[in-house]
Chain A
Amino acid sequence: MLCLGQVYGNASSIHYFGQGAKRQLEAARRQIASLIHASPGEVIFTSGGTESDNMAVLGVARASANASASRHVISSSIEHPAVLGPCMQLQREGADITLLRCGASGIVDPDDVRKALRPDTVLVSVMHANNELGTIQPIAEISRITREAGVPLHVDGVQALGKIAVDVDALGVDLYSMSGHKLYAPKGVGALYIRKGTRMAPIAFGGHHERDRRAGTENVPSAAAFGAAAELAAGRLAEESERLRALRDRLENQVLESIPDTGINPPGGDRRNRVPNTSNIYFDGIDGEALVIALDLRGFAVSTGAACSSGALTPSHVLTAIGLSADRARASMRFSLGHGNTAEQVDALVDALGASMMHLRRISVHA
Chain B
Amino acid sequence: MPDLPIAVAMSGGVDSSTVAALLVRQGRAVVGMTMQLWNQRRLPELSSDKSTGRCCSLDDVYDARHVAEQIGIPYYVVNFERQFEEQVVKPFVEEYLAGRTPIPCTLCNNYIKFDRFLEMADSVGAGHMATGHYARIRYHEAAGRYRLLRAVDAAKDQTYFLFGLTQGQLARTLFPLGDLNKTEVRELARGMDLAVASKGDSQEICFVPNGDYAAFMSAYLRETGVTARQTSGEIVTTDGRTLGRHQGVHHFTVGQRKGLGIATGEPLYVIATDAERQRVVVGGNDDLLRSRFFAGSVNWISIAGVSHPVRAQVKIRNKHRAAGATLHATGDAARVEVVFDEAQRAVTPGQGAVFYDGDLVLGGGWIE
Chain A contact residues, CB within 8 Å of chain B: 287, 289-291, 293-294, 296-297, 309-314, 359-360, 363, 367
Query: B111 in the interface, Cβ–Cβ < 8 Å?
Result: no
Closest 5 CB pairs of A and B: A290-B123, A312-B36, A312-B79, A312-B77, A311-B77
Q: Which residues of A contact B77 (CB under 8 A)?
A: 310-313
Interface size class of B (residues with CB under 8 A): 10 to 19
| List of B residues within 8 angstroms of A309 by Cβ | 58
The smallest beta-carbon distance between B213 and chain A, in angstroms, is: 24
Residues of B within 8 A of A289 (CB): 78-79, 120
Q: How far is B78's CA from A291's CA once the two chains are assembled, in angstroms? A: 12
* Cross-chain contact A310 with B61 (CB below 8 angstroms): yes
Q: A287-B120, A289-B78, A312-B81 are in contact. List 7 more A-B contacts (CB 8 A).
A: A289-B120, A293-B31, A293-B120, A294-B123, A310-B77, A313-B79, A367-B122
Q: Does B72 contact A (CB under 8 A)?
A: no
| Docked pose: A291 CA to B123 CA in angstroms | 8
Chain A residues whose CB sits within 8 angstroms of the CB of B125 once the complex forms = 294, 297, 359
- Assuming A297-B31, A311-B77, A312-B77, is B124 touching A363 (CB within 8 A)? no
Q: Is the CB of B79 within 8 A of A314?
A: yes
Question: What residue in chain B is nearest A290 (Cβ atoms)?
Answer: B123
Residues of B209-263 contacting chain A, CB below 8 A: none
B residues bordering A, Cβ < 8 Å? Answer: 31, 33, 36, 56, 58, 61, 65, 74, 76-79, 81, 119-120, 122-125
A310 to chain B, nearest CB (A): 5
The answer to whether B123 and A297 have CB atoms under 8 Å apart is: no
Considering the chains assembled together, what is the distance between the CA atoms of A359 and B121 in angstroms? 12
Q: Which chain A positions have C-beta within 8 A of B31?
A: 293, 297
Rounded to whole Å, the gap between the CB of B225 and the closest CB of chain A is 19
Partner of A367, one of B33, B76, B81, B119: B119
Q: How far is the CA of A342 from the CA of B218 in the complex (A)?
A: 56
CB distance from B85 to the nearest CB of A (A): 13
Check A363–B122 contact: CB distance below 8 A: yes
A53 to B211, CA, bound (A): 41
B123 surroundings in chain A (CB, below 8 A): 287, 290-291, 293-294, 359-360, 363
Q: List 27 A-B contacts (CB under 8 A).
A: A287-B123, A289-B78, A289-B120, A290-B120, A290-B124, A291-B123, A293-B33, A293-B76, A293-B78, A293-B124, A294-B123, A294-B124, A294-B125, A297-B74, A309-B58, A310-B61, A311-B61, A311-B65, A312-B36, A312-B77, A312-B78, A313-B77, A313-B78, A314-B79, A359-B123, A363-B119, A367-B122
From residue B231, how far is it (CB to closest CB) to chain A in Å? 33
Name the B residues within 8 Å of A293 (CB-CB). Answer: 31, 33, 76, 78, 120, 123-124
Whole-angstrom distance between the alpha carbons of A313 and B78 in the complex? 7
Asked if residues B124 and A297 are in contact (CB atoms below 8 Å), the reply is yes
Min C-beta distance of B304 to chain A, whole Å: 24
A361 to chain B, nearest CB (A): 10
Assembled-state Cα–Cα distance A160/B81 (Å): 33
Bound CA–CA A232/B58 (angstroms):
38
CA distance in complex: A297, B31 (Å):
9
When chains A and B are docked, how far (Å) is the Cα of A367 from the Cα of B122? 10
Q: Which residues of B contact A290 (CB under 8 A)?
A: 120, 123-124
Q: List the A side residues contacting B33 at CB < 8 Å.
A: 293
User: Within the complex, what minimum Cβ distance (angstroms) separates A46 from chain B?
Assistant: 25
Give the distance to chain B from A265, nearest Cβ to Cβ, in Å.
Answer: 20
Give the distance to chain B from A2, nearest Cβ to Cβ, in Å: 33
Q: How far is the CB of B196 from chain A (nearest CB, A)?
A: 17
- B124 in contact with A310 (CB, 8 Å): no
Most B CB contacts (10 A, CB to CB) among A289, A297, A312, A360 go to A312
| A290 to B61 Cα, complex, angstroms | 19
Query: Within 8 Å CB of B76, what residues of A?
Result: 293, 296, 311
The minimal Cβ–Cβ distance linking A357 to chain B, given in whole angstroms, is 11
